[in-house]
Amino acid sequence: MQVIAEMQLNNKQTDSLRAFLNFFDEKTTSLGNFTYKNGFVVGLPKIFLLESIDDVDLNNLTVGKKNLSVDQQTTERASELKNSMVLSGSAKKFLIAREMNRGLHVFPGLEETKLLLVLPLSFYVFHFFVFKNLNLELTSRFTRLIWTGICSLFPGLVYITARNIQRDSIERNIDLAASSMGPDYASGGVEWYSKMMARHLALRDLLPDGKGKLQYNLKGEEFQPLIFNKHRPLSTRKNDCQKVYENLRSEKPI
């Protein structure tokens, strides 16, 4: 495979790689790491099989567990959904390279352990700071219990913040690593995130019972929970790839 060759994976890494087509999701999925005993497993979306929009059969396309109606199939949104499902070779290369970089640089289990260590450490630091500066040792037991309860909330806030920062950093780093492999990879990243947003905009109108408007905003982004961020914004990831593409193109002699 071209991407594996260009990434110069060694034989051990290549042997530990397992790939499959994911027929249940339009996104990539991955598990493990190249250094782990069970290796690295990556699931590529089923849309990798599509070569042109003619390969997309709207009659058999399921949206929200329902087939599109005849009226929906003739809408502009349905046409946009079809276009968003067909990827160029560059976009496919970018996705594969992105997941390969995840398998090289992200260590599931270890990342979660780092976050869990934040909980007792932040509790101890905040608890010590509050009790020392407010002289709570001299107050009643009830007051100390109240402040201990307040202190117990602080590690949770620190954990959530650290988790969001960690996820954002991981997604940014693997995007930059993949797009930095060449202008075609970077342009593939721009295409992928553009089509992801276009797909979300189409689903916003096509999903039954108004569910699309509850899942996606007018920019094609998923609505994020108030506390936990599910992922780095697609528009930001697209801009990262765009900047890399422009930098790589400017470095080439005219």
Give the mean model confidence (pLDDT) for residues 163-172.
92
Predicted local confidence at residue 253, as pLDDT: 47
Quick one: what percent of the chain has pLDDT higher than 70? 92
What local confidence, expressed as pLDDT, does residue 152 receive?
72
How far the first Cα of the chain sits from its last, in Å, is 30
180 CB neighbour count, 10 Å cutoff:
17
Beta-carbon contacts of 235 under 8 Å, excluding residues fewer than 6 positions away, are 193, 197, 219, 221
| Cross-sheet strand order for the sheet of 29-32 | 17-22, 40-45, 29-32
Residue 233: strand, helix, or coil:
coil
Residue 50's domain comprises: 2-251
Confidence band, pLDDT 50/70/90 cuts, at residue 1: low
Closest CA to 27 of 200, 181, 244, 201: 200
Of 1-15, 85-99, 112-126, the poorest mean pLDDT is in: 112-126
Output DSSP code: residue 228: S
Q: Which residue has the higher pLDDT, 210 or 179?
A: 179
Q: What is the pLDDT of residues 146-165, one digit of tens each?
A: 777 777 777 778 888 888 88
Whole-structure pTM value: 0.85
| C-alpha pair distances (Å), 254 with each of 151, 249, 250, 251 | 61, 10, 9, 9
Quick: pLDDT tens for 215-240: 999 999 999 877 777 789 999 999 99
Please count the other Cβ atoms lying within 10 Å of the Cβ belonging to residue 106.
18
pLDDT tens digits for range 24-70: 777 888 889 999 988 999 999 989 999 999 999 888 888 888 888 88
DSSP 29: E
Q: Please state, rounded to an integer, the average pLDDT across all residues of the chain.
A: 87
Please state the domain count of the chain: 1
Give CA–CA dist 198/1, Å, rounded. 29
Centre a 10 Å sphere on the Cβ of residue 98 and count the other Cβ atoms it contains. Answer: 27
